[in-house]
Amino acid sequence: MNDRQENSHSFRLLFVCLGNICRSPAAEIICRTVLRRAGINAVVDSCGTANYHVGSRPDGRMLAALERAGYAYDGHRARVLLREDGERFDLIIPQDAENEREVHRVISLTARSSVLPMRRWFPAGCRYHEVPDPYYGRDKDFDEVVALLAESMPALVQELCNSTGQSTHPRG
């Protein structure tokens, strides 16, 4: 579990999609990679709002797209969003509007977590308004999701640094 391990001193982020086999595990892997390279301490996890794929590895097409972009799978298995996640994480990041509504339905109105959509960190002029679901798509759709997440992640990490007062220590 290495840097996904629970640590009471770390900022805690949770990415959420529907099945937790395509978009949110990709976001988790890319975010953890960016954080590690920047020398920033945070706990990163992902989950789905549906339970169809609980216990599964990410979709093979997403793992292939991640590998093409230089990101390595580090063992995540799909799990479903729990009400307790609203107390366990500082920031919950739904990948699309439907899953954002689900997050608000599942966690308590008084949950500790902030909920901010992934689109908040999309690059200026981006043609998407949410992370598109690639599940019924082709390889290029998986590549587009990886590219969109990779382009957005530095802005998310920068905002996280600003809010936690951590500075980056690039590790190449």
**Residue numbers of the site for ligand 4NP (CB under 6 A)?**
17-23, 48, 52, 133, 135
With respect to ligand 4NP, which residue has the nearer C-beta, 95 or 113? Answer: 95
Assess whether 32 carries a catalytic annotation.
no
Please pick, among 23, 32, 61, 119, the residue that the annotation labels catalytic: 23
| Length in residues, the chain | 172
With respect to ligand 4NP, which residue has the nearer C-beta, 20 or 113? Answer: 20
CB of 170 to ligand 4NP, least distance (A): 30
Assess whether 47 carries a catalytic annotation.
no
Nearest to 80 by CA among 1, 19, 5: 19
Q: Is 26 exposed, middle or buried (CB count within 10 Å of its CB: 0-12, 13-18, 19+)?
A: buried
Assess whether 17 carries a catalytic annotation.
yes
CB of 86 to ligand 4NP, least distance (A): 19
With respect to ligand 4NP, which residue has the nearer C-beta, 141 or 159? Answer: 141
Give the helix ranges, DSSP H, for the chain: 23-38, 60-68, 85-88, 97-106, 139-164
CB of 120 to ligand 4NP, least distance (A): 18
The radius of gyration of the chain from alpha carbons, rounded to an integer in Å, stands at: 15
Rounded CA-CA distance 119/131 in Å is 7
Which residues are marked as active site?
17, 23, 133
